[in-house]
């Protein structure tokens, strides 16, 4: 029985039928707006008519869930019955404490601890710094000289999260942290998520650049944590909040090493996803003149009116980003494991069953989204994300949904606004942008040439 490979270019799924082995070559195709759409056509065909279907991924038996109502049951309605799945773990640098703890009460505790730094009310304070950071980064671009857009988005998002969430450190140290985090994020984005490529990458010494980037970032972060421990007056910021966390007897809950692990998770999660989404957004703008024109007009209006980007508003900027997130959800595939015997729809599944679902497929369901592969921000004039199913979950949903969603929306608008004010980005002539379904769903290579507005 074959395994899904990291690039999805030769996946073998077991249909649970005699001789039911299906090989498929996943090729890129172009959507209606000229940008690439990663083609799951054969997987869609395999799953058509099935709410659940058995398959094997990386040698592990699993059940693929296609029904958005059942996915919501897993993530929200019956979430207490599901924990982290066994799939895709080897591709990630996960801590076992804090927000990623298997213990549900600990997970909730550390969500509450992080919440003050990423909630909507706090984010307004970050906007001036965000704008300065983006402006400073893109000022190094030169007209007519191609830039690697995704690498630049890594630089920007990493500078934003370190410059806003970490305080009490010298600016030179913050800058050094940002640079090292950017290298780590860039390597993590491109890490294979599963299959033979992920198995090779997981071997000792196989991912030398990723290992080096992680080590260098952790070393500097550990030094910063040690410095904060030696400065009891430094009580502001996310790192200080982790260090100050204590039990009822006043004992520190996390060791400095665990604080470092938790911070690495939080900071990389806040950067790799946003960098990938922002790369797609700039690519689409470069290929769709109508979208660019409408977006620029709306951004000018928002800037002059002082309007913030609120989820649920109807401005073109929000519709544009909502459609980018629909077509290119950064966390494009996920897995949960049944902790007890469960009933999912009309199906009974034993404890230990791994359940796989894909936001990419959910977001392109023709039953929910007519002409699902077409880029159409105006579909959101009449369409709203459903609260009864998981047909639109770019940030996840429920108790394990992305805690940084408000932070991410604000970053996306700020980056779009500042970049498009100064530069018009043109695609690399003759280069076909390909979709890479790895740790995130990102453009494999995105060289673009900036021209002054």
Q: Binding site for heme: residue ranges? A: 402
SS3 244: helix
Beta-strand ranges (E) seen in 371-446 are 423-427, 435-437, 441-443
Distance CA 134, CA 1 (A): 48
Instruction: Please give the Cα distance from 65 to 333 (Å, whole number).
Output: 11
Contact 298, 316 (CB under 8 A): yes
* Dihedral (CA of 131, 133, 134, 136) sign: positive
Q: At 303, phi and psi to the nearest 5?
A: -65, -45
Q: Which own/partner contact pairs does 302-306 have at CB distance under 8 Å and 24+ positions apart? A: 302/413, 302/417, 303/417
Distance CA 156, CA 2 (A): 39
CA 425 → CA 280, 283, 320, distances in Å?
Answer: 12, 8, 17
The pair of three-digit structure tokens given for residue 39, joined into one six-digit string: 């083609």
Q: How far apart are CA 363 and CA 365, in angstroms?
A: 6
Q: Rounded CA gap, 377 and 326, in Å?
A: 10
Beta strands in 147-285 (DSSP E): 147-148
Is the distance from CB of 361 to CB of 334 less than 8 angstroms? Answer: no
Structure letter (DSSP) for residue 65: E
């Amino acid at each position: 029985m074959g395994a899904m490979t990291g690039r999805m270019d030769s996946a073998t799924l077991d249909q649970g039928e005699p001789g039911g082995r299906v090989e498929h070559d996943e090729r890129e195709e172009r959507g209606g707006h000229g940008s690439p759409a990663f083609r799951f056509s054969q997987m869609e065909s395999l799953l058509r008519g099935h709410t659940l279907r058995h398959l094997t991924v990386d040698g592990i038996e699993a059940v693929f869930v296609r029904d958005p109502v059942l996915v919501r049951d897993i993530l929200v309605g019956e979430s207490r019955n599901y924990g982290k799945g066994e799939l895709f773990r080897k591709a990630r640098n996960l801590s076992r404490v804090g927000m990623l703890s298997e213990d549900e009460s600990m997970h909730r505790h550390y969500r509450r601890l992080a919440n003050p730094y990423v909630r909507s009310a706090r984010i307004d304070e970050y906007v001036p710094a965000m704008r300065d950071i983006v402006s400073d980064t893109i000022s190094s671009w030169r007209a007519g000289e191609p830039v690697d857009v995704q690498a630049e988005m890594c630089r920007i998002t990493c500078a934003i999260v370190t410059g806003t969430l970490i305080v009490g450190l010298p600016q030179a140290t913050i800058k050094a942290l940002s640079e090292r985090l950017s290298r780590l994020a860039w390597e993590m984005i491109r890490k294979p998520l599963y299959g033979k490529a992920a198995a090779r990458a997981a071997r000792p010494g196989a991912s030398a650049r990723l290992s080096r980037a992680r080590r260098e970032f952790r070393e500097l972060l550990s030094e910063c944590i040690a410095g904060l421990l030696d400065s009891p007056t430094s009580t502001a910021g996310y790192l200080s909040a982790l260090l100050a966390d204590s039990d009822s007897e006043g004992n520190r809950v996390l060791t400095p090493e665990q604080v470092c692990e938790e911070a690495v998770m939080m900071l990389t999660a806040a950067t790799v996803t946003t960098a990938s989404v922002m790369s797609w957004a700039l690519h689409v703008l470069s290929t769709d003149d109508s979208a660019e024109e409408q977006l620029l007009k709306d951004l000018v209006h928002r800037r002059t009116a002082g309007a913030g980007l609120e989820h649920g508003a109807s401005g073109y900027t929000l519709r544009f980003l909502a459609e980018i997130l629909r077509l290119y959800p950064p966390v494009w595939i996920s897995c949960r494991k049944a902790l007890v015997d469960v009933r999912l729809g009309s199906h009974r599944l034993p404890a230990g069953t791994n359940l796989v679902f894909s936001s990419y497929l959910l977001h392109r369901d023709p039953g929910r989204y007519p002409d699902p592969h077409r880029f159409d921000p105006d579909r959101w004039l009449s369409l709203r994300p459903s609260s009864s199913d998981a047909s639109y979950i770019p940030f996840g949903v429920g108790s394990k949904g992305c805690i940084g969603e408000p932070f991410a929306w604000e970053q996306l608008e700020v980056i779009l606004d500042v970049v498009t004010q100064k530069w018009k980005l043109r695609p690399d002539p003759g280069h076909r942008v390909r979709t890479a379904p790895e740790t995130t769903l990102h453009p494999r290579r995105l060289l673009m040439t900036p021209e002054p507005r």
